[in-house]
Amino acid sequence: MRPLYWDFMIENIWVIARGIPYSIEIAVIALFFGFFIGLITAIARMYKVPVLNQISSIYIAIIRGTPLLIQILICYYGIPRLLQYINYVYNLNFNINSIPPIFFVFFCFSIYTGSYLSETIRGCILSVDPGQMEACYSVGMTTTKGMMRVVLPQAMISAVPNIANQFIGLIKDASLAFVIAIPEILGQAKIVAGRSSKFLEAYIVAAAWYFVICWICQRFINIIERRINRQQKKA
């Protein structure tokens, strides 16, 4: 059994680190768009909005019931086929090959994140005292204004820990993007390993980078949570 090639790991630690911006970018964009998708679907389900409620329920069931890896592959191979069909039906000339692969990752991860944040946001909204909305009605606010100005700000405070944990999960899930040749951390590790056949060493370095990034994020999240708890105690 051969020993680990420590020199190789040290030599390539910053090469593999080139994938960090991709991993963080995927997580940030997915969380941003996923939040709004989750908010819309949560409200649609809470208030039983016709049609949108049924669509939201089916969407959540499908996304949460299938692996993210399969969703990425379906998006990567399915969206171009759909665009080809649209080109054919409407006699368009959209250049499908001009779409960068990372677009499919952004789209798929946003849809995936929205399905999970939907339940998080819905639970946090329901945790707010119903009397808050009744108070809004008593001063002449509409449901929309009461939700935006009173209920949602309180609900979002409760949602911070879950949203933050979702972000950390997205950083790790971004490793799946390598299947469509996105050079994030794991993708960079596979490139380095493919040139040298030192797969174990490359994967150890990649795991170390994931650990460091997630540890830093967790520390930052803990600081935010402590500040929120202090503010709530003062209030």
According to the model, what pLDDT value does residue 181 have? 86
User: How far apart, in whole angstroms, are the C-alpha atoms of residue 138 and residue 134?
Assistant: 6
- Structural domain boundaries in the chain: 21-182
Complete DSSP assignment for 60-88: HHHHHTS-HHHHHHHHHHHHHHHHHHHHH
Indicate the fold that domain 21-182 takes in CATH: MetI-like fold (1.10.3720)
d(CA 15, CA 4): 18
Q: Which amino acid, 160?
A: V
Taking Cα atoms as reference points, which of 157, 156, 150, 126 lies closest to residue 136?
150
CB neighbour class for 83 (10 Å; exposed up to 12, middle 13-18, buried from 19): middle
**27 backbone φψ class: left, alpha, beta (φ>0; ψ -120 to 50):** alpha
| pLDDT at residue 235, rounded to an integer | 60
Each residue's pLDDT, cut to its tens digit, for the chain (235 residues) gives: 667 888 999 999 999 999 999 999 999 999 999 999 999 999 999 888 889 999 999 999 999 999 999 999 999 999 999 988 998 888 888 888 888 999 999 999 999 999 999 999 988 888 888 888 888 888 888 888 888 888 888 888 888 888 989 999 999 999 999 999 899 999 999 999 998 889 999 999 999 999 999 999 999 988 888 887 777 776 6
